[in-house]
């Protein structure tokens, strides 16, 4: 191929490229009669944590056995777990739980820590007032569902905005007698937090 032929071929290729660019720009311009296509809305993130062998309900049996060894009439009053410097993946992993029990006969309370299958009574004392018991009928929502609700109600975005967050999740009986989950994310060394309360019987988010 001669230098002239190469020049013609190159020039032709360049013209084709330029023509395609111009054509794409023309076709891409909306006209007065063209239909306006609305951008597709991005669905909100949906968080569904998997069931975990380290959930509050799955470890409760170990705590209950230790508590009934302490006092035969021991009743569950609350459950608590914490994550320091939490990351999203941490919430799908087993975590230690702390359970508080109350003995109506003695008026005393004890705290049981469960890590894996190991349950240990770590504190026992006279309770200043009777503690309301957690009933099995009211406790239908486990900790993964409570954490998922927190993530969906702004907790997921909260974790993305802040790099150092401590998270706590607590099962308790409110002053109104309702069993509820209280999930709180707190930015370390600040008062910035994300708090969500969830009905432990229905999973509904509470005001």
What is the per-residue pLDDT across 170-202, written as a single tens digit (0 to 9) for each? Answer: 999 999 999 999 999 999 999 999 999 999 999
Distances (CA, A) of 108 to 111, 129, 173: 10, 9, 18
The domain locations on the chain are: 56-206
Average pLDDT over residues 156-167: 94
Cβ count within 10 A of residue 84: 11
67 closest CA partner among 131, 122, 107: 122
138 closest CA partner among 70, 69, 78: 78
Place of tokens 């006209």: 31
The residue among 87 and 17 whose pLDDT is bigger is: 87
Q: Does the pLDDT value for residue 68 go beyond 90?
A: yes
Q: Does the pLDDT value for residue 93 go beyond 60?
A: yes
Phi-psi bin for 177: left (phi > 0), alpha (psi -120 to 50), beta?
Answer: left
């Amino acid at each position: 191929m001669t230098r002239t032929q190469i020049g013609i071929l190159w020039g032709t290729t360049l013209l084709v490229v330029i023509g395609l660019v111009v054509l794409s720009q023309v076709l891409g311009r909306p006209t007065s009669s063209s239909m306006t296509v609305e951008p597709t809305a991005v669905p909100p993130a949906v968080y569904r944590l998997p069931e975990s062998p380290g959930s509050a309900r799955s470890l409760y049996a170990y705590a209950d056995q230790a508590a009934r060894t302490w006092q035969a009439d021991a009743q569950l009053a609350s459950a608590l777990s914490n994550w320091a410097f939490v990351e999203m993946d941490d919430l799908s992993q087993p975590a230690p739980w702390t359970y508080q029990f109350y003995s109506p006969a003695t008026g005393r309370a004890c705290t049981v820590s469960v890590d894996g299958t190991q349950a240990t009574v770590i504190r026992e004392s006279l309770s200043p007032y009777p503690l309301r018991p957690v009933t099995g009928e009211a406790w239908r929502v486990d900790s993964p569902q409570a954490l998922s609700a927190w993530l969906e109600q702004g907790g997921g975005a909260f974790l993305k905005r802040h790099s150092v967050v401590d998270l706590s999740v607590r099962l308790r009986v409110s002053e109104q007698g309702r069993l509820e989950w209280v999930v709180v994310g707190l930015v370390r060394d600040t008062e910035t937090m994300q708090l969500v309360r969830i009905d432990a019987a229905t999973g509904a988010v509470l005001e």
